[in-house]
Amino acid sequence: MELLGQILSALGIIALLGFLFFIVVVFRVIKKAGGLGAIRIGSATRIHLQNCENPGWKDKEQIELHSKEMLELGLKDLGAFSIDEMPTVKLKAFMNGTEGLFGIIYEVQGMGIWLDLVSYFENGDSITATSSRKGEPLKQRPGHDKVREASAGPKALYKLLTEKEKTQTRLKLEESKEEFKRVFEKAYADEIDWRNSLGGPDEEEMRGIARASGEVHSDEVYARALEIQRAKACAGLSIALSENYRKKHSITDDRWGELEQKTIFVHDKLPADLCLQELRNLASELSTEQEEILKNRNPREAFQILEAQLHGKLRKIDNLEQPLATDVYEISGSEK
């Protein structure tokens, strides 16, 4: 989903919502399960917006009040949208393409309404002014600043945005529903990919999220939650890396169906047990020493050593830089 070849994440608040919600649910499921066993919980790595003719607003009066202010700020009403992967979320979008400016009103079941105003710049940076306090415990993505004023309306957020605005030239955008959907979906994906490239939240972030939710957990629960988050981050990275690899080489769906099971993406956020799992069809040929290499070296270094030792059965075929430095390997002579 290209946008002028260079647009990056700005609309990260809804990504943070999904990210935070997932973490809070993980805490609760672990406590309920006593921290034992496999916990299978999903959150969207990618989202898809749909035009929504009848959003069924719970607080229609407040939506109309905010909409009026958005129009007074010179933004065009693009209508309402739903998100396939987040059925409890509805949003209304506004846009000034000349100014590279978006306004968004969110209504989330059980959580109420909040607003974003977002400025995009030609160099790919952005600033978001939001009325939501959610996401404060999390690291902020470089180049994509977020400023907050709880419960602020559109005009107050616009004032906050202009006060914090950078000196870069604003990016000009086409004023259309399809453009908004492309921007929003890519913004979400970029925010999630960046967070996954860090390996998921660290313990400080996890504890901050718990405090913000008014919850207290044991060290065991935090350890298990971090383990789940790291596994989820790796799964999300696999999606992003396969997308980037396929795009780089113009690989069709049919061709990827043939290649996927023979392709391994190796990055330094890949845990040792997953490294072994990726090589499961060669596991019978791995010596104890080779398994120790996987456990005790960083993954990219370990795979370089194993490539030389496995005599053509593991072959590096490419490397990727986004969302993090990754070596791409092919398993040969095996039915992976």
List the chain pLDDT tens, one digit each, 336 residues: 222 222 223 344 455 455 444 444 444 444 444 433 333 444 678 999 999 999 999 999 999 999 999 999 999 999 999 999 888 889 999 999 999 999 999 998 888 899 999 998 888 888 999 998 766 667 888 988 888 898 899 999 999 998 887 678 888 999 999 999 999 998 889 988 998 999 888 888 878 877 877 777 788 878 887 888 888 888 889 999 999 999 999 999 999 999 998 899 999 988 877 777 777 666 567 888 888 888 889 999 999 999 998 888 889 999 999 999 999 999 875 444
Q: What's the whole-model pTM score?
A: 0.80
**Where exactly are the structural domains of the chain?**
13-212, 253-336
- Buried residues in 238-262 as b, exposed as e (16+ CB within 10 A): bebbbbbbbeeeebeeeeeeeeeee
Looking at the DSSP bridge assignments, the partners of residue 114 are 106
Residue type, 102: F
